[in-house]
């Protein structure tokens, strides 16, 4: 091309506002794949982008320039899966998929923003329906939509995103990563179990597994305290009172008094000490309330066989139980599972739940149908693929008991070696690592440091073979001061070294 023609082309591009990237982005509108319709494909300019936040409210986020692709996937006659794929101009040759929360009725755009800033091609899905993350009514008499939610939407999204990347970029895709918490953590583990070659590394925070039993355990917490006019009801104020008493009694177990329980399992505080004395009603609990708290701490078991069904909540998480026990009804995520999936009855009453029969029924229905559960400890194929799983869970999680993640990790360990030897643990930790986060609530929040860079740790592990022995989490104290804490690879626990600033991660060692 001669110089004059080059100038003419450059001027034309300026006049039309187009670039080579814009042309390639436009070309994706004719992308062809069975069951895939490209709804829109255009350049999203750098700057502010409007999107809903995690709660669905309008918000804005700063983004770099990228090609924004919106598509609809229809792997079944009743499927209507929406996805987005964001293809940045400065691409790092990797894919990052982000997970959802609850019943997952929207594309998690706000969770996609950090990844595109890091140069990732990023993708997310609404899992096949539109609606609140608390609303499971979409599943009523729509078994294909339930399958989409359970696993198919994520897998189909992954395949489509990789195909779009291949069509858009000249360099080949080098790595694929998953990052999700809660339902998103479950989605990541489901991918590892069912489609082991989809991802090279998976971050699974507070995974909602097994879904059917988690739903029952959430209802059990509601049954322990509701209705709100019963003597066993626990108001937000009562929960905060219990939490302060528990933390005050057990705070020093890790060697320093800092408002955090490093390992709540070591807390032996007897909640019965808070029972009201005669004529006392403030700063105490009634016998019925004490019984309710103890039920929430305890695992859910089959009353006939004593079979362990699901973990109880950790001490120190009481302040975060309000969504489960605050009423007037139980958590709708869990209630809707039994109403719309198990019993196919919108009028089903949670008070009729039979823990001895109905949980087994829910497990059986799920195994034959949607396969929402993702508690299979068989990660062999994923590990042979070279995949790595980085799990984390906040000890103060008030929606999904922290012990649930420990249970899954130890199930994988036991599958490797029923004796759970140290040698097999070392081998397992080459591929799977769990980090427990003191004071962190459900995925974030709570009094503990809750910000840490799991993505960089996973990249180093997958790409360079450097497994993370610890993560550094940051946050603020109750007085607003900056604080960092070392998160240790389970089963090690961060312990104060005996000197140094207790708000500095360097003052702790993993033991």
Rounded to the nearest 5 degrees, what angle is found at the Cα of 332, between the Cα atoms of 312 and 225?
50
Rounded to the nearest 5 degrees, what angle is found at the Cα of 25, between the Cα atoms of 19 and 26?
95
* Nearest-angstrom CA–CA distance, 47 and 350: 47
* Nearest-angstrom CA–CA distance, 215 and 203: 23
Catalytic residues: 182, 397, 442
User: 185-197: buried (b, 16+ CB within 10 Å) or exposed (e) per residue?
Assistant: bbbbbbbbbbbbe
Two tokens, residue 485? 């804490």
3-class state of residue 66 by DSSP: strand
* Nearest-angstrom CA–CA distance, 323 and 133: 14
Q: Are 386 and 461 in contact (CB under 8 A)?
A: no
Q: Are 202 and 389 in contact (CB under 8 A)?
A: yes
- Label each residue of 328-397 as H, E or C: CCCCHHHHHHHHHHHCCCCCCCHHHCCCCCHHHHHHHHHHHCCCCCCCCCCCHHHHHCCCEEEEEEECCC
String of DSSP letters for 420-450: --HHHHHHHTTTEEEEEETT--SSS-SSS--
Rounded to the nearest 5 degrees, what angle is found at the Cα of 125, between the Cα atoms of 124 and 130?
140
For tokens 């992308």, name the residue: 31
* Nearest-angstrom CA–CA distance, 190 and 147: 12
Q: Are 484 and 473 in contact (CB under 8 A)?
A: yes
Show the beta-strand stretches assigned E in 8-113: 36-44, 47-52, 58-63, 66-73, 81-88, 94-98
């Amino acid at each position: 091309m001669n110089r004059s023609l080059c100038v003419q082309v450059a001027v034309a591009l300026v006049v039309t506002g187009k670039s080579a990237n814009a042309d390639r982005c436009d070309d994706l509108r004719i992308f062809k794949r069975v069951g895939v319709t490209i709804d829109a494909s255009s350049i999203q300019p750098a700057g502010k982008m409007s999107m809903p936040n995690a709660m669905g409210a309008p918000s804005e986020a700063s983004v770099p320039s990228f090609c924004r692709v919106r598509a609809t996937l229809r792997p079944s006659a009743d499927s209507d899966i929406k996805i987005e794929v964001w293809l940045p101009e400065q691409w790092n040759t990797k894919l990052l998929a982000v997970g959802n929360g609850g019943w997952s009725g929207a594309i998690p755009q706000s969770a996609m923003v950090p990844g595109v800033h890091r140069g990732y091609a990023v993708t997310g899905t609404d899992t096949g329906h539109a609606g609140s993350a608390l609303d499971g009514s979409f599943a009523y008499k729509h078994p294909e939509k339930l399958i989409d939610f359970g696993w198919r939407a994520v897998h189909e999204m992954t395949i489509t995103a990789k195909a779009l990347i291949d069509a858009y970029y000249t360099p080949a895709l080098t790595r694929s990563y998953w990052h999700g918490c809660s339902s998103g953590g479950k989605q990541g583990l489901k991918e590892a179990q069912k489609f082991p070659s989809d991802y090279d590394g998976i971050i699974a925070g507070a995974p909602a597994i097994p879904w059917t039993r988690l739903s029952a355990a959430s209802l059990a917490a509601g049954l322990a305290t509701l209705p709100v006019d019963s003597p066993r009801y626990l108001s937000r104020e009562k929960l905060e009172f219990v939490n302060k008493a528990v933390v005050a009694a057990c705070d020093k177990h890790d060697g320093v008094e800092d408002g955090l329980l490093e390992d709540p399992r070591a807390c032996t505080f007897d909640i019965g000490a808070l029972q009201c004395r005669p004529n006392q009603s403030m700063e105490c609990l009634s016998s019925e309330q004490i019984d309710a708290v103890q039920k929430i701490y305890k695992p859910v078991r089959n009353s006939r066989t004593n079979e362990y069904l699901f973990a109880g909540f950790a001490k120190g998480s009481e302040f975060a139980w309000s969504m489960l026990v605050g009423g007037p009804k139980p958590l709708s995520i869990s209630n809707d599972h039994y109403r719309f999936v198990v019993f196919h009855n919108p009028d089903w009453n949670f008070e009729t739940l039979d823990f001895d029969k109905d949980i087994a029924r829910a497990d059986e229905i799920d195994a034959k149908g949607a396969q929402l559960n993702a508690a299979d400890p068989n990660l062999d194929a994923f590990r042979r693929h070279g995949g790595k799983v980085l799990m984390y869970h906040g000890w103060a999680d008030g929606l999904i008991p922290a012990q649930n993640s420990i249970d899954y990790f130890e199930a994988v360990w036991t599958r490797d070696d029923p004796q759970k030897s140290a040698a097999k643990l070392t081998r397992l930790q080459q591929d799977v690592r769990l980090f427990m986060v003191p004071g962190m609530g459900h995925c974030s929040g709570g009094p503990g440091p809750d910000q840490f860079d799991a993505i960089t740790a996973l990249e180093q592990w997958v790409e360079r073979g450097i497994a993370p022995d610890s993560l550094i989490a940051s946050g603020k104290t109750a007085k607003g001061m900056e604080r960092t804490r070392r998160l240790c690879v389970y089963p090690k626990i961060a312990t104060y070294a005996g000197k140094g600033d207790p708000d500095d991660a360097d003052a702790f060692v993993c033991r």
